Structure 1
Amino acid sequence: MFSSARRRFLVHASLIGAGAVLSRSGLAATATTTVRIGYQKSSTLITVLKAQGKLETALAPLGVDVSWSEFASGLPLTEALNAEAIDFSADVADTVPIFAQAAHARFVYVAQEAPSPGAQAIVVKRAGALHSSADLRGKDIAVTKAAGSHYLLLAALAKAGVPPDATRIHYLTPADGRAAFERGSVDAWVTWDPYVASADQQADVRILANGNGLASYQRYYLASTRFAEARPDVVAAIYAQLREAGEWVRASPQGAARLLAPVWGLDAATIERANARRSYAVRQVEAANFDEQQKIADTFLAAHLLPAAVDTSRAQRWDFNAKRAVAIGA
């Protein structure tokens, strides 16, 4: 059923994801009857839809079921998309699709959330000696590789005139990054909400910098090209549900927090604080709102984290009117 390369990928993804759950039923289903959705903890709108069962209700008239696979972060999620282990990726940070593009993955940008620069941050110990990004020189820093927070770190270091190799960067999942930060193994932790919100209210923690003026942090929803072309009706239905979910979270912050609290294992007040920093304004991908992607790609190339230059204008977005993939600038 799967090639040996595909099997190797699935093993690799499970190791990288540190907890990714690929359901047996999701992998076995075909794209014509089931849409396999990958998501992560910070995929708020998809989590809302999953908890409410609204996506299943919306897709039932189309003869489509939903299977769910949870991943620890965006990079293994898009690797699964590239391997066609999933059909649709819930929101990932703006950095993640660039790595997918560098790997020549066949995917399309389906939607974009408007900027949320305050929803990711560099957190440090309040009593520590770090008071500006320049103070990160020579320090140990935990960050998730290829996440939006990774770009925030690189942007903050660049603005402060600190080369990345003048620091000691440790690539850790959010859970491992937090553990390392709390036990003092690293001096700073760079992460995103709801992880920031779960840490920044602690008495011994403060925010060194967030994305304001550094990284706009636009999150993207992706689909495999094959699936989008086969089921444009499903892609359109998911997009409509995401827009509605975003409107509901903004209009009902307390209700959204109460819904997410048992799912995320966080208290409602923490979730409401995290959600207040996200725009949740879902929109179609247009060239006018895409400029920062090239800057991000160039930054990662300069840091020797991409194998080759990436021209983000050559990526594809989903044209809902034409029901096909087109170049970003088209």
Structure 2
Amino acid sequence: MRNRIVVSLFCAFLFLMSAACGRNESSSSASSVSKQEWPSELHIGYQKSSFSLFLKEKGYLEKQLQKHGTQVKWFEFPSGPPLLEALNAGQIDVGYVGGAPAVLAQANPTSQLTYLAYEPEVARAIIVPKTSSIRTVTDLKGKKVAFGKGSSAHYTLLTALETAGLTLNDITPVYLQPSEARTAFERGDVDAWVIWDPFLADAEVNGGARVLIDAKGLPKQYGFIVGRKEYVKQYPDAVQTVIDQLNKVHQEIHSSPEEAAQLLAKETKIGTEIWKRTLSRRGYGVFPLTKEVVDAQQRIADRFYEAGLIPKRIEVKDAVAVIKQ
């Protein structure tokens, strides 16, 4: 009888130990899954003309993500096309670009781009020297026009020329990044320049520029927060945190433009008054994608295909991410 009792107690002990081990293994497994929901690093691409720069300087994103062991690394780009090249190459995970660069990136056979959210348009225009004899878009025929190839300025120029019955074949394109284009514009090496804020505002105030036509009456072109597909799929919470914090700085800038202009001026070496001008004529907020926005982006894709700027037709909606909003 004593032996049977000892055996029974031993079996009960083994059962309890097995159950405890099972709980520990389940807890360990759950912990492992939890850790996998947050990346060890987040690489963000930004441009000096975007509010991502303000987010970088404020450190809000780092404060939120360090709770989950995620380190944020920032990479600066002069415009959207090189930023998206880095995204397709896996060098960055999230970034901000204009509509036109996103279309070109999506048309790449190895595209990793996915649309996450959008921002309102920024001011864009075609400018000429104040003393230029160019008075209408029609006068651009045969002239040298500077702009970033594949940038939002590219689409601005394309649609502006169409208002005068012209195409890109009617002008001489000079593909330059903003800093290079500013130099060429002031030296008189080009006849016109297509550019966006704050570079536009700076050229108007300090660069002897006159607006020939702005983008207000042209087809809309939104800004986009974009991500690398695999990263977005694997780490949706981290990506949502980026969107939330960007929206936070949008509201902060909108409510305190004076302070924002001073910070942005310090970081970009573009004057405070220029940033005040820029901030006064743009919209604010980071929003979930809507049909209207996707349709506007699809029009860019269709026009670029018709102009021979992308090799195939694309469906913008195929690259729209579904994440928490």
TM-score normalized with structure 2 length? 0.85
Specify the alignment match of 1:65 in structure 2.
Answer: 71
1:294-315 Cα deviation digits (max 9, x unpaired)? 2111221222211122222322
2:237 counterpart of 1:239: no
Specify the alignment match of 1:222 in structure 2.
Answer: 226
**Which residue, out of 30, 33, 45, partners 1:38?**
45
Larger helix percent = 2
2:283 counterpart of 1:279: yes
Which is worse superposed, 215-224 or 248-257? 215-224
* C-alpha displacement of 1:85: 0.7
* C-alpha displacement of 1:55: 1.0
Query: In the alignment, is the contact (CA less than 8 A) between 1:62 and 1:234 conserved in 2?
Result: no
CA distance in 2, matches of 1:203, 1:230: 46
CA distance in 2, matches of 1:135, 1:157: 10
- Partner SS, residue 95 of structure 1: helix
Which is worse superposed, 268-277 or 180-189? 268-277
Q: Which protein has the larger Cα radius of gyration, Structure 1 or Structure 2?
A: 2
CA distance in 2, matches of 1:135, 1:215: 21
* C-alpha displacement of 1:293: 1.1
AA matched with 2:273: A
2:285 counterpart of 1:269: no
AA matched with 1:277: R
2:104 counterpart of 1:99: yes
1:190-220 Cα deviation digits (max 9, x unpaired)? 0111100111113732111111111323100
2:189 counterpart of 1:185: yes
Specify the alignment match of 2:17 in structure 1.
Answer: none
- Partner SS, residue 200 of structure 1: helix
CA distance in 1, matches of 2:285, 2:135: 33
Specify the alignment match of 1:289 in structure 2.
Answer: 293
Specify the alignment match of 1:198 in structure 2.
Answer: 202
What is the aligned-residue RMSD (CA, Å)?
Answer: 1.4
AA matched with 1:37: I
- Partner SS, residue 160 of structure 1: coil
AA matched with 2:252: W
Which is worse superposed, 208-217 or 307-316? 307-316
1:19-66 Cα deviation digits (max 9, x unpaired)? xxxxxxxxxxxx8211011111112x2111111111100111121110
2:167 counterpart of 1:160: no
Specify the alignment match of 1:328 in structure 2.
Answer: none
CA distance in 1, matches of 2:233, 2:44: 16
Specify the alignment match of 1:84 in structure 2.
Answer: 90
Number of corresponding residues: 287
TM-score normalized with structure 1 length? 0.84
2:215 counterpart of 1:211: yes
Identity of aligned residues (%): 37
2:57 counterpart of 1:51: yes
2:140 counterpart of 1:136: yes
1:245-286 Cα deviation digits (max 9, x unpaired)? 111111111010011111000111101111222213210112
AA matched with 2:128: V
